[in-house]
Structure 1
Amino acid sequence: MRKLTGVAALAWLCGAGVPAHAGPAGAQGADFLYLVEPGDTLIALAERYMASADGWRTLQRLNGVADPYRLVPGTQLRIPLSQIPEQAGAARVVYVAGEVRADGRPVQAGMTLGEAARIETPAGGSVTLELPDRTRVTLPPATKVAVRRLRTFVRSGLTDTVIRIEKGAADTRVAPEGGGVGRFELHTPMMVTGVRGTHYRVAADAAGSRSEVLEGRVGVNAARGAPAASASATERAMTAAASVGAGYGIGVSTGGRLLRPVALLPAPALLPPQETVLGPAFDASWQPVAGATAYRVLVARDAALSELVWAGTTPANTAPTARIDGLPEGTLYLSVSAVDAQALTGLGAHAPVSVRLNPPAPFTLQPAADAVRYGESVTFEWAAVQTAARYELALAADADFTRQAALHPASASGAAQPLAPGRWWWRVRSVDGKDLPGPWSAPVGFRVEPAPPVPTLQDDGSTLQIGWPQDTAAGAGYRVQLSADAGFATLLADEHVTANAIGLPRPAPGIYYVRVARAAPGTAPDPAAFSAPQRIEIVAYLRDGHGGAIGAGTSGTGDGVGGGGGIRLR
């Protein structure tokens, strides 16, 4: 499908009842089109556009003008492009996102590209080119184009541009300041156009070629075969032509058949995002559009959508939302359009979006993801942010922070909060000196378990009776450990019980440590699940002739562990 872009004809304009524009009106075939303004003469036009003022004779003969000094305003004149002197032109790169390449080299904003440049945008990138007449061409992600012609008319400064879209799409605003256009054409493998002051889009893919006209009028021609790059529009064998006005789109099938123009789908009703988006991501939402098969979502730095920072498509059979991420700080512009069954992109709904990324979110430290904390209070830690005057800690029972949500101010990079047992999420954000918050850190999920049971000890001289309060949370039982060191590297006992008490053989006199945790049989509890190590001291007993303990004394002490009877000898 081949598409002509430029002002391809007063025939389209007048034939469709559209008022004619005066002055430079684009190109059609091998001719530049000019619509006569009051006071124009053939000699003056030849001096302005042609190599010599003597060219007026050619204009008189070509256009059948009776009096070269009496031209009717609004009538069309053809000026052969071959007789308009040109010089090399250049396109300036005004915006680039991602690893865009031209002729295999990286593209940067500010550089210029000339005729014969081949430009390729990656899946996540885009580039916008500006021509000398301020025409802007935005190439979205996954697009390949070749600049076939890039020149300017020597005497008038009008541009002569031909760009071939090999794959992907282009969004154009031609001569936006209303000064008229020389020649501007976008080619796909099957199409070509001529326009003035027009905003339109062109796309080419395996399904064919398409164009949507947003402002002005475009002439579309389906071509037979693939014409040579140097061929003019009139040298192409056309099988069909159509004039497409604003608000309409047209397609050419892979077989080269020009389809009928159809009205573009209306703009969706956007549900505007919050006034200020904190962070690089937000969810765009809109009302469904009847007849839509998908939605095209764009975010750009400018209201004209020529500096894209995000582009994507979402199917219509899912919720009418799109998750947009990776955004820069500042005022951005959101656009959502419905796509119909012919893959034509409809009119766009637009809304400004203010994105705030500073002060940056702190880096969360503790608790880490899926950590478990035991007890009634949890300590939170995060890295300090230099530009933060204070912080806000958010806690909730769900990752969306809608259930049992609470906000806690913090003056330092840490805070402790009481929490009931259960699953919790936390996040933190910085607040600057003007009391303006930055984005939240990512939610971190963790679990709170009841505090471990604290053991007590009774010593009857032959066994150690270790007990602790009955705990309904320990349905699977308990793990009891006795060690000769506080790090529990040398275990003397490691038992699982279902009751809240256990008797262990009495070890030799010395210092020992005991701890208890809730645990299922055969599992190794997290060290944090154990109670704090309880230090006990076992002393020697004075015994009678039958081996029984005699006398009264303390045989176990330390760190909250109760003592037993007997005589302690030191």
Structure 2
Amino acid sequence: MKRSIRWLLLSLVLFWLCAQAADDEPEWLYTMRPGDNLWSLAQRYLGDGGASVKLQRYNQIDAATKIPPGTRIHIPLSWMQQQPAVARVVQLRGDVVLQHSGRQPEPLTLGGRLWMGDSLELGEVALVTIELADGSRLLLGPGSHITMDRLSAYGDTGMVDSRFRLQRGRVESRVRPLKGPGSRYEISTPAAVTLVRGTDFRVGVESGSGISQSEVVKGEVAVNAAGESVKLKAGFGTRIEPGKPPLAPRPLLPPPDLSALPERLDAVAITLDWPDQKGAVGYRLQLLASGDDALLAAHQLEQSRIDELVLSPGRYQVRIRGIDGLGLEGLSSRHLLEVVKPLPAPSPEPEPQLRLEPPAFNGAWVSFRWNQPPKANHYRLLIISEQTGLPLFSRRFETTVLSLPLPPPGRYRVSVEAWLAVESRWLRSNLYRLVIPPSWALP
């Protein structure tokens, strides 16, 4: 009898310990549907149909094959099978080097796939956007170096585990709300680890010093460093030095005033300037296609102005934010800008043409004819002797034809000039050489 009581007490203790362990174990809940059974469930999510016995015991189910639809099945996260997840390159600008684990470096290509262990190194003007298995996006700025520490998923549950290691540069994350206890999104730097559960946030690492910045635009993140954790809400940021805890949350600079920026420009190389922002020691300017999140260019500026920004005709979204003394980037202002094709410069009016035709001879007479240029008021015919250089004939008249007696034998240069009163100048024709032989001399 006493032995039976001892066994009963021992069983109760073991049951309590198992229940306590179950309370501490993260679980994923599955709702049974028509046609489901524990064997198919175990095969699908645990990778082994035989594990259905474990599920039956864990959920204290007597008849494993007669579970009504709507029943919630508790599955310990540690039992679930993880599979490699893939990330896709959805935007690429500039030179980016992809390093697969154990392989030679190669250029990154648009549409390429990234796996756990891959690293990316961006050039000084490069930009990359990566889309994860759950639709979250990671934007890498110029000069960044990042490694995909973990890219995995729990089957088709929607739970995704994404972890990145940022050695330098800046990243902007747009994380979809994480599903289930197995979902994780984490960015580690030499100074801190930033964990999120559905948010828009930014992380930066200064080259050389390893100092990190974390800024939250939407949602909430936790920043862990040197054994301490800081929670950041939307509109706050922190700075972390390697080996030190994060600074207390600091309000981010508000969006700068962009109301003075033009909405339409007809120049190819443009200048944009806006009022200086209190507390800003620099600015981040990003250029995006209008109506899209595709980043076209990014600039870090020391003043509230950018010159010679070369843009093709089209619609753009300009995104600008201030940078404070700790290197924290503030909240962004957005401005829509349309660049139209510059109107061509008006073509100069063609130079009027005055053309003297070859002279026509008629017995003892010679006739000269020329065209009438636009805006010509009157004319002057010049006949100059090549021997003396003196004018033989020079007279003003208003007609475009003139008949004269033959000049004495000799060589002459003949031209006509038209007076353009609007421009206050003479327009000269082509030069015609006139030769009168001695045999043409009048008796």
Is the contact made by 1:91 and 1:114 (CA closer than 8 Å) also made in structure 2? yes
Q: CA RMSD in A?
A: 4.1
Q: 1:354: how far off?
A: 2.8
Structure 1 residue matching 2:311: 3-state secondary structure? coil
The one of 341, 364, 370 equivalent to 2:325 is 341
The residue number in structure 2 matching 1:313 is 300
Q: 1:156: how far off?
A: 0.8
Distance 1:268 1:102 in 2: 36
Q: Mean alpha-carbon deviation: is it higher for 179-188 or for 239-248?
A: 179-188
Distance 1:126 1:350 in 2: 19
The residue number in structure 1 matching 2:163 is 162
Distance 1:258 1:102 in 2: 32
Is the contact made by 1:32 and 1:78 (CA closer than 8 Å) also made in structure 2? no
The one of 73, 85, 102 equivalent to 1:89 is 85
1:185-207 deviation per Cα after TM superposition (whole angstroms, max 9, x unaligned): 11111211321211000000134
| Bigger Cα Rg | 2
Structure 2 residue matching 1:416: 3-state secondary structure? coil
Distance 2:144 2:282 in 1: 20
Q: 1:170: how far off?
A: 0.6
Distance 1:540 1:154 in 2: 103
**Residue identity matched to 1:537:** E
**Residue identity matched to 2:387:** I
Structure 2 residue matching 1:345: 3-state secondary structure? coil
Residue 269 of structure 1 pairs with residue 262 of structure 2: no
Pair 540,239 (structure 1): closer, same or farther in 2 beyond 3 Å: closer
1:147-168 deviation per Cα after TM superposition (whole angstroms, max 9, x unaligned): 1111111241321111111110
Distance 1:158 1:539 in 2: 105
Distance 1:339 1:325 in 2: 20
Pair 194,298 (structure 1): closer, same or farther in 2 beyond 3 Å: same
Q: Sequence identity of aligned pairs in percent?
A: 27
Q: 1:279: how far off?
A: 4.9
Is the contact made by 1:200 and 1:211 (CA closer than 8 Å) also made in structure 2? yes
The one of 224, 229, 232 equivalent to 1:221 is 224
**Residue identity matched to 1:100:** V
1:226-277 deviation per Cα after TM superposition (whole angstroms, max 9, x unaligned): xxxxxxxxxxxx4321111111001112453421110001010113543334
Pair 277,535 (structure 1): closer, same or farther in 2 beyond 3 Å: farther
The residue number in structure 2 matching 1:209 is 212
1:454-476 deviation per Cα after TM superposition (whole angstroms, max 9, x unaligned): xxxxxxxxxxxxxxxxxxxxxxx
Pair 321,88 (structure 1): closer, same or farther in 2 beyond 3 Å: same
The residue number in structure 2 matching 1:110 is 111
Distance 1:270 1:313 in 2: 17
The one of 316, 326, 335 equivalent to 1:332 is 316
Pair 321,130 (structure 1): closer, same or farther in 2 beyond 3 Å: same
Distance 1:322 1:37 in 2: 55
Pair 569,179 (structure 1): closer, same or farther in 2 beyond 3 Å: same
Q: 1:304: how far off?
A: 6.8
Structure 2 residue matching 1:346: 3-state secondary structure? coil
Structure 2 runs not aligned, ≥5 long: 1-23, 33-37, 61-73, 100-104, 352-382, 391-407, 418-435, 439-443
Structure whose residues are more often helix by fraction? 2
Distance 2:227 2:291 in 1: 38
Distance 1:540 1:165 in 2: 88
The residue number in structure 2 matching 1:101 is 97
Is the contact made by 1:309 and 1:327 (CA closer than 8 Å) also made in structure 2? no
**Residue identity matched to 1:268:** P
Q: 1:93: how far off?
A: 1.0
Structure 2 residue matching 1:323: 3-state secondary structure? strand
Q: Mean alpha-carbon deviation: is it higher for 257-266 or for 180-189?
A: 180-189
Structure 1 residue matching 2:332: 3-state secondary structure? strand
The residue number in structure 1 matching 2:123 is 122
The residue number in structure 2 matching 1:252 is 240
1:301-357 deviation per Cα after TM superposition (whole angstroms, max 9, x unaligned): 26674x211111111xx4x22236343554322111010010000000012223345
Pair 90,539 (structure 1): closer, same or farther in 2 beyond 3 Å: same
Distance 1:79 1:272 in 2: 57
Pair 156,268 (structure 1): closer, same or farther in 2 beyond 3 Å: same
State the TM-score, normalizing by the size of structure 2: 0.61
Residue 188 of structure 1 pairs with residue 189 of structure 2: yes
Distance 2:324 2:179 in 1: 34
1:482-535 deviation per Cα after TM superposition (whole angstroms, max 9, x unaligned): xxxxxxxxxxxxxxxxxxxxxxxxxxxxxxxxxxxxxxxxxxxxxxxxxxxx98
Residue 351 of structure 1 pairs with residue 335 of structure 2: yes
Structure 1 runs not aligned, ≥5 long: 1-30, 61-76, 223-237, 362-390, 394-407, 409-413, 419-533, 542-551, 562-567
Distance 1:144 1:535 in 2: 83
Pair 282,144 (structure 1): closer, same or farther in 2 beyond 3 Å: same
Pair 109,300 (structure 1): closer, same or farther in 2 beyond 3 Å: same
Q: 1:78: how far off?
A: 11
Q: 1:132: how far off?
A: 1.3
Is the contact made by 1:281 and 1:325 (CA closer than 8 Å) also made in structure 2? yes
1:347-401 deviation per Cα after TM superposition (whole angstroms, max 9, x unaligned): 00012223345xxx7xxxxxxxxxxxxxxxxxxxxxxxxxxxxx642xxxxxxxx
Q: Mean alpha-carbon deviation: is it higher for 345-354 or for 132-141?
A: 345-354
Is the contact made by 2:224 and 2:245 (CA closer than 8 Å) also made in structure 1? no
